[in-house]
Structure 1
Amino acid sequence: MASNPPAPAAPFVPSTEPFGFAGPRTDEGPWEEWNPTEDSLRPVRGRHRVGKQRGGGLARSSTVLGVGVIAAVGAGGMASANTGKPPVSISMPDLGSVSHVFDGSSDAPKGSATVLSDVATSEVTAQGAKGAGEALRDRIMAQAESQQVQIDSKSQAATEAALAKQTDAAAAKAEQEAAAKAAAAKEKAEAAAKKAAEAAKLAELAKQFTLPVVSYTITGTFGQAGSMWSSGYHTGLDFAAPTGTLIKAIHSGTITEAGWAGSYGYRTILTLDDGTELWFCHQSSISVSVGQKVSTGDVIGRVGATGNVTGPHLHLEVHPDGQATGIDPAPWLRSKGLNP
């Protein structure tokens, strides 16, 4: 900063002009009054801008500062004049720099004091940028959290849907298994009931049907192949028993034939009410006659060995509806509650 030494006193030069107005001078007047008009004035070229004083308060502050500096300089000079001491150098700040500090001008000289308005603006800008960044960060975090919530919700919904599907599948499977068990139990119960009914029926039929002999041995079954039979196979069921063993009527019916029948020996045919014919063959004797009505258990003859035989036995054939070809007597007897 520059020091301000006291200004030297100016020499006194007396004026030659008389005091006051001495009269008109040769280089003056007479003057004519001139009133400028629009035609006499040249048009103003270019742009003229009147600078406005920034901040009346700051301008007044600069004026006060200048007056204070001058007063300080005067006081220093007076003090040095009165005391005889060397003048004190007073450092004055550059008024341009000071004005730049107060008016916030952007063209302050390099190295001048920091502009207060720029500092405030920078702080506000920094705070605004920080607030905007935090707001953006909060918004991004909120959006991410919302997306995560949606993902979690979808995942939970998918899990619940899969669990519900599994539960429904398990329930459906359990229901099917229960239905199958119920159906099986029902079928089993129906089968048991049917079997019981059949047993009851057979028991009732057993009272109406009886085996032809009491003590016997099965020596020949239906369908056996052999040359001893003229048809090439056995056509009946053989009950081997001693000669003279009683032969009983299997069921009630009518005697439709009784006598000799060639290879069958002595034969008796009992016709039931449904038309089924029962043939009793190889008898040693016949105890009934044609047209006779018999009941279950009535004696119709005796076991013998007449006809084409190898030993005493009863040859039994069953002919439904009087057909020439017979059927297996064993299942027919079982259907009547008898177990040969």
Structure 2
Amino acid sequence: MPAKGKHRRPKTPRFSRSLAVAGTGGAALALPLMGATGAHAATPAQPVSGTAVQSLPKTAETAQQDQGVRTYTVRSGDCLSQIAEEQRVSGGWQRLYDDNRQVIGADPALIHPGLKLSLGTKAAPARTESAAPKPAQPAAPRQTASQPAASKASASGAAQTASTGYTLPVAGAGVGTAYRVAGSMWSSGYHTGVDFVVPTGTSLKAVAAGTVVSAGWGGAYGNQVVIKLNDGHYAQYAHLSQLSVSAGQTVTAGQQIGLSGATGNVTGPHLHFEIRTTPDYGSDVDPVAYLRAHGVAVG
């Protein structure tokens, strides 16, 4: 005869899916256990009875995606004008810089791979990994294959190159500070070159055929390229945001040698251009007169 006793009725499970609970100090995170394919579409798990549960906070990037904000992660060789053009940012690189000034910093030319930029709207002031401290001295940009020009040379500039073998160092630019302007800000007491006012990312050209003698960081000149022209003069390009050539490389008239920027000792983006009789500082000659003597019209 079977022994008398009470049979327990099996309890039905309280949840339709299993939960993993982890935490310390009385607080826990309730996470649904599911396959990787459903991770993004899953609804938050319900709190476990009698247990304090705190939800996972959204990151700034996730919150921006929820609001339909587009973002872009900077890659090696990128510059603001190129990003603005490819991503069709209304307002160009200036708008892109204004919207991301808090993560880029004071110099729009110094962006680094991994930096996350907001496209078409102001970046959240929240602190992110991409807002890394700016190095005390930037390294010379990684040399890459020829990049798309931010501004294309005019037809007249191309004709000059073909007929005379010389061309402007940058197309369609106005002249800012002229040659030999006096001032205490220059160690020689005067401006040793001429400034062409152009935005960061504008294509810079070799004014004539020659050989690159240096390409890299030049102190107050920032990132610079110096070319020994075939006539024996030296052409110097300063404050570049990106280099397209390397030392020892031969170049032809009109070939891109880099992109303009605001590196080194500057107050804004422009090209500082010099013509020297030797590679040394202080051997400068009037660069505008030099170009005009070779049939190049300078505005």
Question: What's the TM-score bracket when you normalise by the shorter of the two chains?
Answer: 0.3 to 0.5
The alignment's TM-score, normalised by the length of structure 1, stands at: 0.39
Is the radius of gyration larger for structure 1 or structure 2? 1
Higher relative contact order (CA 8 A, sep 6+): 2
